[in-house]
Amino acid sequence: MRVLVVGANGHTGRRIVDLLRQGPHEPVAMVRDPAQVEHFTRMEVATVVADLEDPLDRALEASAAEALLFAAGSGSKTGPEKTLSVDRDGAIRCIAAMEAAGLRRYIMLSALRADPESQGSPISHYLRAKGIADEHLRRSELDHTIVRPGRLTFEEGTGRVDVTPDPASGGSIPRDDVAAVMVACLDEEATVGRSIDLLAGTTPIAEALAGP
Ligand SMILES: NC(=O)c1ccc[n+]([C@@H]2O[C@H](COP(=O)([O-])OP(=O)(O)OC[C@H]3O[C@@H](n4cnc5c(N)ncnc54)[C@H](OP(=O)(O)O)[C@@H]3O)[C@@H](O)[C@H]2O)c1
């Protein structure tokens, strides 16, 4: 399958692209700045340039992708309005474009404790934005998987995770392992329709994803 990686230039997105390059799937990197294309072209990875704040139908069509991995985010350095226009509405635009194109497989990088009703956390506006996008995806016709990691780190991946963590634990997980989980979901039918809480742990990724 050709797989559109949204947020491909990000810390997790680049890891996802690297894993997809190893096969059997073929990544298409969606970036928002033409200057970011060269990095992927050097690796012989196809690119499309598009911004999540604009309609995405053309970018999806140009990518000729059959599946989409959403790994974008506005980050902590922009204001709350970008959390809405990128993390919430950008993800929803991707869902709409997939539906309009008649495509089905959508894997969302969300966050532990994402909740449309989140209150009382310093990042509640972000958790609400992610939670609302996740709800759109659950209500859509798409074959979705929602990956909900704790805090992302730059530590080296272990290939082992915990998919039944205490949501209140405040734990973390290397971006390497989040990327590996996102990619592994593509080939694990049992992940379709699931929301998967995710922290660093001791269970091999394939085993953790195989059952509920
Ligand atoms: N940080 C955490 O602890 C944590 C925990 C749980 C979940 N998450 C989720 O995981 C995601 C990935 O994390 P990360 O650290 O890998 O993110 P990152 O390095 O900040 O990458 C985010 C990517 O999204 C792209 N992007 C932002 N706005 C865009 C737009 N309008 N159109 C197209 N692309 C756009 C960025 O493009 P540029 O490269 O051009 O800037 C960047 O490549 C986060 O965004 C967050 O939702 C994070």
Q: Any bridge partners for residue 4, and if so which?
A: 28, 68
Q: How far is the CA of 75 from the centre of ligand 1 (A)?
A: 6
Residue 194 pLDDT > 70: yes
Give backbone dihedrals phi and psi of 3, rounded to 5 degrees, phi first: -125, 120
Residue of 5, 6, 9, 107 with the most ligand 1 atoms within 8 Å of its CB, for mutation: 9
Our CA angle for 91, 37, 145, nearest 5°, is 30
167-202 exposure pattern, b = at least 16 Cβ within 10 A, e = fewer? eeeebebbbbbbbbbbbbbbebeebeeebbbbbbbe
Q: How high does pLDDT run on average in the chain? A: 96
Please state, for a pLDDT cut of 90, what percent of the chain lies above it: 93
Residue 188 pLDDT > 70: yes
Residue of 6, 85, 86 with the most ligand 1 atoms within 8 Å of its CB, for mutation: 86
Q: How confident is the model at residue 29 (pLDDT cuts 50, 70, 90)?
A: very high
Q: How far is the CA of 127 from the centre of ligand 1 (A)?
A: 14
Closest to 143 in 3D by CA, of 182, 99, 173, 111: 99
Residue of 152, 172, 181 with the most ligand 1 atoms within 8 Å of its CB, for mutation: 152
Our CA angle for 162, 133, 108, nearest 5°, is 40
Residue 67 pLDDT > 80: yes
Residue 212 pLDDT > 70: no
Q: How far is the CA of 71 from the centre of ligand 1 (A)?
A: 6
For the annotated catalytic residues, the residue numbers are: 126
Q: What is the pLDDT of residue 168?
A: 73
Q: Whose CA is nearest to atom 45 of ligand 1?
A: 73
Q: How confident is the model at residue 52 (pLDDT cuts 50, 70, 90)?
A: very high
Please state, for a pLDDT cut of 70, what percent of the chain lies above it: 99
83 lines ligand 1 (CB under 6 A): no
Instruction: Give the integer Cα–Cα distance in Å for 147 and 118.
Output: 18
Averaged pLDDT, 145-166: 96
69 lines ligand 1 (CB under 6 A): no
Residue 86: DSSP 8-state? I
Averaged pLDDT, 18-35: 97
Residue 9 pLDDT > 90: yes
- Residue 15 alpha carbon, nearest atom of ligand 1: 16
Q: Write out pLDDT tens, residues 152-162.
A: 999 999 999 99
10 lines ligand 1 (CB under 6 A): yes
Averaged pLDDT, 166-177: 88
Structural domains of the chain ordered from first start: 2-210 (3.40.50.720)
Closest to 18 in 3D by CA, of 37, 43, 41, 36: 43
178 lines ligand 1 (CB under 6 A): no
Q: What is the pLDDT of residue 123?
A: 93
Q: How confident is the model at residue 77 (pLDDT cuts 50, 70, 90)?
A: confident
